[in-house]
Amino acid sequence: MIDHRLFRATLSVLFAAMMVVAAQAAPCPGNPDALGTARDLPVDAARTPRVGHKQFPQTLPLSPGEVVLTFDDGPWPNTTERVLDALRAECVRATFFLIGKNALARPALAERELAEGHSIGYHSFSHPMLDHMPIGAAESDIDRGITAVDTALHAPMGQAAAPFFRFPYFASTAPLLDWLAGRHMVVFGADLWASDWNRMTPDQELELILSRVEATRGGIVLFHDTKAQTAAMLPAFLRALKTRGFSIVHVVAAGGEPPTQ
């Protein structure tokens, strides 16, 4: 007798594998040996409201060897362009958590991120310690950041950017987490980070982040596209992921209700 649950599970695994192979087979202009993006992972607040083991007990449903690239604090002149150039050269898609005031100051960069297929999330307006503020003031800064990013992208709120939010400094509070859940926002922490807020050479950062990726066998990685050392080491990092057998997963909005003001 057929075990229908096992049969369905097997079909799901086979379908996922076929999607990965198809994505990896897609050509990358000018780079036939590109790392590429293995698959898209739809994410919504109903199933995954908070992700990232550095902040929360749960994380994204990734397989060993899968990496999600995220970049905070931009857009920033020069460094964001270099990060985008490196990702484009390898046909890799990432998620950028934008500071509202930076997006307003450099809307062309925000639009480029979106146009090149990356996911855009929110990272407050002014990057404050939200857990040190009265809740009304914290909510206002988050709202202002959402509006600023959507204005920079020239799109109605929530239609171009994904309903993804990352707390500056990971400084969340229970009331703010509940408030964001009510707005159908996925709150991103990280599983590992490059510690690129510390001064180091690109080679030192590369060695550090590769050791961490190897130790965790992948996960959500936090970088900052405002850091010159990160922009400089990123091409080598992407090539190293390729040679070490890692694959890139791109998180996208699963649909449903947009964030509400």
Catalytic residues: 72, 224
Q: Maximum CA pair distance of the chain?
A: 64
- Count the Cβ atoms, other than its own, within 10 Å of residue 47: 10
Burial of 15 (C-beta count, 10 Å sphere; 0-12/13-18/19+): exposed
Structure tokens, 112: 């480029």
How far does CA 113 lie from the centroid of its chain?
12
Q: Which residues contact 46 (CB under 8 A, 6 or more apart)?
A: 184, 256
C-alpha span between 249 and 70 (Å, rounded):
11
C-alpha span between 32 and 30 (Å, rounded):
6
Q: Which residues contact 179 (CB under 8 A, 6 or more apart)?
A: 135, 139
C-alpha span between 218 and 191 (Å, rounded):
8
